[in-house]
């Protein structure tokens, strides 16, 4: 997954309220929001959000 794809997944999962994020080697995505809360998403959650963002891009016909 590219950096831009990861950013789209983070945005889909957490919105714009993100200070930092890291996709771990084991597939877990760790996100820190502006309140300082650390949220961890499972590989399944990451993959589901990734597929939804790809589907949205694929169906966008301007």
- pLDDT tens column, 31-58: 999 999 999 999 999 999 999 988 765 5
Query: Is 43 contained in some domain?
Result: yes
Query: Is 26 contained in some domain?
Result: yes
Q: E strand or H helix at 53, and its extent?
A: helix 43-58
Is the per-residue pLDDT at 60 higher than 60? Answer: no
Regarding predicted confidence, which is higher, 39 or 17? 39
Query: Cα(18)–Cα(23) distance, rounded to whole angstroms?
Result: 14
Query: Is 62 contained in some domain?
Result: no
Among 14, 37, 34, 38, smallest CA distance to 24 is for: 38
Query: Is 16 contained in some domain?
Result: yes
Query: Is 19 contained in some domain?
Result: yes
pLDDT score for 1: 87
- What is the tally of structural domains in the chain? 1
Among 24, 25, 21, smallest CA distance to 10 is for: 21
Query: Is 40 contained in some domain?
Result: yes
pLDDT tier, 26 (very low <50, low <70, confident <90, very high otherwise): very high
Query: Is 51 contained in some domain?
Result: yes
Regarding predicted confidence, which is higher, 18 or 58? 18
Tell me which residue range forms the domain holding 12. 3-56
Coil, strand or helix at 32: strand
């Amino acid at each position: 997954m590219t950096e831009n794809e990861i950013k789209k997944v983070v945005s889909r999962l957490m919105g714009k309220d993100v200070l930092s994020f890291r996709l771990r080697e084991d597939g877990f995505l760790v996100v820190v929001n502006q309140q300082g809360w650390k949220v961890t998403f499972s590989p399944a959650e990451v993959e589901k959000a990734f597929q939804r963002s790809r589907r949205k891009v694929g169906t966008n016909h301007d």
